[in-house]
Homo-oligomer: A and B are copies of this chain.
């Protein structure tokens, strides 16, 4: 399963940073930081998560989907449909 994610360590580092942002949000709410400042941090964490999703998606298109297409056969269409559904969930979230 080599090549799963091109930069697995980089993605993990970004997820750990987002975990830290979410813990920071708990401290902000617990200490009753001004709502607008909390909301600004929520928007930053949301954007960081979307950015991770976009990285995963690009890797997925470059590897899993591209491999299915290169192999030919019926799997390619299903892979493209599955990726498109995941993109739709991302756009609508």
Which residues of chain A have a CB within 8 Å of any CB of chain B?
1, 4-5, 8, 11-12, 15-16, 18-19, 22-23, 25-26, 29-30, 32, 35-36, 38-40, 42-47, 49-50, 52-54, 56-62, 64-66, 69-70, 72, 76-77, 80-84, 86-93
Residue of B nearest to A16 (CB): B26
Given A35-B60, A36-B60, A44-B93, 20 other A-B residues pairs in contact with their CB atoms under 8 A:
A5-B29, A5-B32, A8-B30, A18-B22, A22-B22, A35-B57, A35-B64, A39-B86, A46-B46, A46-B49, A46-B53, A46-B93, A49-B49, A53-B91, A54-B87, A54-B88, A57-B84, A66-B69, A70-B72, A91-B91
